[in-house]
Structure 1
Amino acid sequence: MEAGIKIDVAREISLLYELSLSIGNSLELKKNCADFLNVWMRQKNIDFGSIWLKNKVLDLPNSENFTLIYANPEFSTDKKEITLNHYFMSHLEGNGGVCVKSDTLHFQEIITEKNITDGCYWVIPLPQLGFIKFYFSPKNLSQVAFDSSEVKKASKVIRKFGVTLQSCLLHNQVIGYQDELKKLAVVAEKTDNAIVISDNKGRIEWVNEGFSRVSGFHLDEVKGKTPGEVLQGAGTNPETKKFIGEQLRQRNSFRTEILNYSKTGTPYWIELSIQPIFDEEGKLTNFIAVESDITERKNYESELRQAKEKAEEASRVKQEFMAVVSHEIRTPLNAIMGMTNLIQKTSLSPLQSDYISTVQISAENLQGIINSILDFSKIEAGKMSLQKIPFNLKKILQNIISSNEFKAEQKGIGLFLKFDEKLNVTLLGDSIRLSQVLLNLVSNAIKFTDTGKITIEARVVTKMNNALVVEFNVIDTGKGIANEKQKLIFESFTQEDSSISRKYGGTGLGLSISKQLVELMGGDLRVRSELGEGSTFSFVVGFPISQEPIEEAKQNHLSSNTLIGKKILLVEDNAMNQFFAQKLLEGWGMKVDIAQNGREGVEKFRAKYYDGILMDIQMPEMDGFQATKLIRTESTKVPIIALTALVVDEEIEHFSRVGMNDYIAKPFVADELMQKLIKHISVSQTYSISSPKVKVEEVEKLYNNQLLAQMMKGNTVQIRQMETLFVQQSEDALKQFSELYTQQNWKQIGLLAHKIKASIDMLQITPLKQPIRQLETLGKQEKESPEIAPLIKYTTEILRRVCDEIQLSHQ
Structure 2
Amino acid sequence: MSQEIAGSPQADHGKFQARTTDGLPRAPFYWAAGLTLILACGPFLPFVKLFPTPASYQPVHTLLEFIAVAVSAMVFALGWNLRRQEENSQAVLLAAICLGFVLVDLAHTLSYQGMPDLVTPSSPEKAIFFWLANRMTVGLALFAVAILPPQRWSAAASYVALGTVIAVSGLVWWIGFYHLDMLPRTFIPGQGLTPFKIIVEALAAAIFAIAALLLLKRAWRERQANLAWLAAGAWTLALAGPFFIIYHDITDLFNLLGHIYMSLAYLMIYRALFVAGVAAPYEALARQRALLRSLIDSVPDLIFFKDRRSAYLGFNQAFAAYSGRSEKVMIGKTDFDFAPPEVAAFYRQKDVEMLAAGRPVSNEEWIDYPDGRRVLVETMKTPLRGPDGELLGIIGVSRDITERKLAEAALRASEESLQAYRGHLEELVAARTRELEEARAEAERLARVKSDFLANMSHEIRTPLNAILGLAQIGERQQADPKARDSFRRILDTGQMLLGVINDILDFSKIEADKLSLEDGTIDLGQMIDDAVALVSFRARSKGLDFKVDKAADLPAACRGDPLRLSQVLVNLLANAVKFTKQGQVSLAISRNGDTLVLRVADTGVGIGPEHIGRLFVPFEQADGSTTRRFGGTGLGLTICKRLVDLMGGEIRVASVPGQGSTFEVHLPLEEATPPAAAPAAPAPTGHRLAGLTLLAAEDNPVNRTVLEDILALEGARLVCLEDGCQALERLRRDGQEAYDIVLTDIQMPCMDGYEFARHVRELAPTLPVVGLTAHAMAEERERCLAAGMVEHVAKPIDIDGLVAVIRRYARPPAATAAATPEPTDDSAIDWGGLERRYRGRQAFIDKIFAVALEHCGETPAALREAARSGDLERIGFLAHGLKSTTGNLAVPGLQDLATRTEQAARQAAPETRALAAQLAAGLEHLLAEIAARRPAPSACA
The normalised TM-score by structure 2 is: 0.40
Q: Which has the higher helix share?
A: 2
Larger radius of gyration: 1
